[in-house]
Structure 1
Amino acid sequence: MIARITQLFPLWAIAFSVLAYVQPTLFVDLKSTIVPLLTIIMLAMGLTLTPTDFGNVARSKGAITLGVILQFSVMPILALVISLVMGFSPEQTVGMVLVGSVAGGTSSNVMAYLAKGDVALSISMTAISTLLGVVLTPLLTGFLAGKTVDVPVAAMLLSLVKIVLLPVGIGVAINTLARPAIKRIENILPLVSMAAIVIIVAIVVALNKDNLAVQGMAIAVAVILHNGLGLALGYGLARLFGFEPTVCRTIAFEVGLQNSGLATALAMKFFTPVAAIPGTLFSVWHNISGSILAGYWSRRQPEERDSAQLAVES
């Protein structure tokens, strides 16, 4: 029963998005729960991991390198190309490029978890790309969109520690010290994560109802293209380099799902509300598309790695 509910993740995400759009008052006051919900999600994932999982990631330098390179090449370039092809204004373009230039979001960790990807690898890539993004986000935005921004370094690092590293670390420690107890509840952990991310999606929709109502369809199409191509290229290029499906799923989410909340905040602080629309829409859409893809992959067992893939990964 629990597994069936979890497999319907995409439908729950869409249903709650519609509900939040029609009745935003049900979710607006829950804004302050977003960070605690993210923390719960990361704790739940940590409870499924052991130190050995991260030791294995340390031997996957090829996967980490490819994922980070794709993160800061595929997404910013796609953002600029789509903006130019669709004839966007400078404000719309800088908003798109900001979304493409930020690091991967914590939602990629959740989707990798639900899609039977490599969660430890996902968390490691998110952490590395977040740290690199401190330098690369303003550089890429300035180079591609002709603008410069100041990235809140301290706030970003603190957020990473509080939302990702600390709860995951606590979860790993608990799982290591009390494995028998955790084993009895591990079947409900995906359900906890699913419920939390669905509520977060609903809150984001409710908070941005007005922006979603007045913005043009062109930006929505651009965001869907940006996200979809990022997911497809992330997976396809990883497969092209010979990585096993579990790693390819993880890289796909790392490339296609962005820290669009940061992009929205930077756009509001340094540019205009128009520049924040791509980030706002991406925040909603990538959770829906990610949940759909995660739901699909959760029903398909990844293939076992072979010796050739192991050679590439190492």
Structure 2
Amino acid sequence: MKFIEQFNRSFPFLVVGCALLSLVYPQGFIWFSGSWITFGLGGIMLGMGLTLQWKDFDQVFKTPLWVGCGLLLQFTIMPFLGWGLAILFELPPFFAVGLILVASCPGGTASNVIAYLAEANLALSVTMTTISTIAAVVMTPLLTNYLSGSYLEVDAMGLFISTLKVVLFPLVLGVLLNRFLPRITKKIIPFAPPVAVLLITLIVASIIGQGKEIILTSGFRLIGAIMVLHLLGFLLGYFISKIIFKNKAVSRTIAIEVGMQNSGLGAVLARENFTNPSTAIPSAMSSLVHSIYGSIFASMVKRINQKK
């Protein structure tokens, strides 16, 4: 179990390392494509559901203002930043829509790993990730359609159905299995996080490998936009919540949840609902950037705490 815990903590380095490797040796990762990516995200959501119990939602009722503030910032700061940065960096339509799409996604399971490493409020992190994931069934298609309409025609209903299929159904199935087959799920649960780490790494590396040429030739503006997006997400999430609640652990948690997106969901929705495969590239690159930022953030917090 100690190995599994260390493997989970290595998530940011594994994602970044495999993504860089896929630029050099794409053949090692591009086999994981098409339906594999869709099933991969479904597996991640199923694993997330397996780790949840009804009592995990108690946090919503105990600290509704914390959860509500985090959700509000998640679905306002990031989507509108994505829209503004797409204009500012003059991204081509397929990159612009991809950026807005991933910016409109909920927090990802990787945020829980970073919250743990940053000594944030882990229970709040898990609750916010879960609630934002459920809310994303409506919010992600709605925001993407509203903010991307000037770039490309967006099939909002298609996005809604895709989100239901790859997020809500596996998540609910996992919760039900945990409720009615606890003995079986208890044996599976320890392996859910490392499997999720492996699957998101394969999804990101595959998309980076498939988009190698366009990334190397015209992806520099996109990288800049994504770096600014996540940096501002972390900073605004932290300082706004710090002003409101004056609680460092809560502010760290909200900063992580706002600054880190479910990039795997963005990639799957992009591939299933847009004809240009390059629309998924912003999601893959987003995973790299927020993993690096999250690791730096956790490291900074630990150093500050050690000095006290």
Q: TM-score range by the shorter chain?
A: 0.7 to 0.9
User: CA offset at residue 245 of structure 1?
Assistant: 3.1
Q: CA deviation at 1:295?
A: 5.4
AA at the equivalent of 1:221: G
AA aligned opposite 1:3: E
* 1:226-241 correspondence runs (5 A): 226-241=229-244
- In the aligned structure 2, how far is the partner of 1:128 from the partner of 1:209? 33
Which letter maps to 2:15? A
> Structure 2 unaligned runs (5+)?
117-121, 303-308
Tell whether the 8 Å contact from 2:99 to 2:283 is kept in structure 1 after alignment: no
Superposed counterparts of 1:71-220, under 5 Å = 71-79=74-82, 81-82=84-85, 88-89=89-90, 92=92, 95-96=95-96, 99-100=99-100, 104-105=104-105, 108-115=107-114, 116=116, 117=122, 118-141=125-148, 147=150, 149-220=152-223
- Shift in CA distance, 29/177, structure 1 to aligned 2, threshold 3 Å: same
Query: Structure 2 CA distance, aligned partners of 1:192 and 1:263?
Result: 21
Q: Any idea what the Cα deviations from partners look like across 1:263-311, whole Å, max 9, x if unmatched?
A: 8569966xxx7xx86x54431222123334555788989xxxxxxxxxx
Amino acid at match of 1:287: S
Unaligned runs of 5+ in 1: 302-314
Q: Which residue, out of 16, 22, 25, partners 1:14? A: 16
**1:111 shift after superposition:** 1.4
Paired residues of 2:142 and 2:156 also in contact (CA < 8 A): no
1:61-97 CA-partner distances (Å, limit 9, x unpaired): 4344433432343234434554566xx44x5488447
Tell me, in whole angstroms, the C-alpha distance in 1 between the residues paired with 2:109 and 2:140. Answer: 20
Counterpart in the other structure of 1:27: 29
* SS of the residue 2:108 aligns to: helix
2:225 maps to which residue?
222
Provide the rounded CA distance (Å) in 2 between the counterparts of 1:262 and 1:192. Answer: 18
Contact conserved, 2:207 with 2:281, CA < 8 A, in 1? no
Residue range with higher mean Cα deviation, 93-102 or 126-135: 93-102
Amino acid aligned to 1:67: G
TM-score of the pair, normalised by structure 2 = 0.76
Q: CA deviation at 1:159?
A: 1.9
Contact kept? 2:95, 2:281, Cα under 8 Å = no
Q: Which moved more, 1:190-199 or 1:243-252?
A: 243-252
Cα distance in 1 for residues equivalent to 2:162 and 2:144 = 17
Tell me: CA distance 1:6–1:295, structure 2 relative to 1, closer, same or farther (3 Å). farther
The TM-score, its normalising length taken from structure 1, stands at: 0.74
Q: Distance in 2 between matches of 1:6 and 1:284?
A: 19
SS in 2 for 1:109: coil
> 1:193-233 deviations in whole A, cap 9, x for unaligned?
11111111111111111111211523322221112211332
> Shift of residue 11 of structure 1?
1.8
The equivalent position to 1:42 in structure 2, one of 35, 41, 45, is: 45
Kept after mapping to 2: 8 A contact 1:104/1:254? no
The equivalent residue for 1:291 is: 291
The alpha-carbon deviation at position 157 of structure 1 amounts to 2.2
Q: How many residues align?
A: 287
State how far apart, in whole Å, the 1-side matches of 2:162 and 2:60 are.
Answer: 23
Task: Check 1:231–1:93 CA distance in 2 against 1; reply closer, same or farther (3 A cut).
Answer: farther
Amino acid at match of 1:124: I
Distance 2:207 2:17 in 1: 14
Instruction: Give the corresponding residue for 1:252.
Output: 256
Quick one: distance in 2 between partners of 1:125 and 1:268?
A: 24
Tell me the distance in 2 between the aligned counterparts of 1:167 and 1:246: 29
Q: Which whole-Å CA distance do the structure 1 matches of 2:298 and 2:221 have between them?
A: 32
**SS in structure 1 opposite 2:109?**
helix
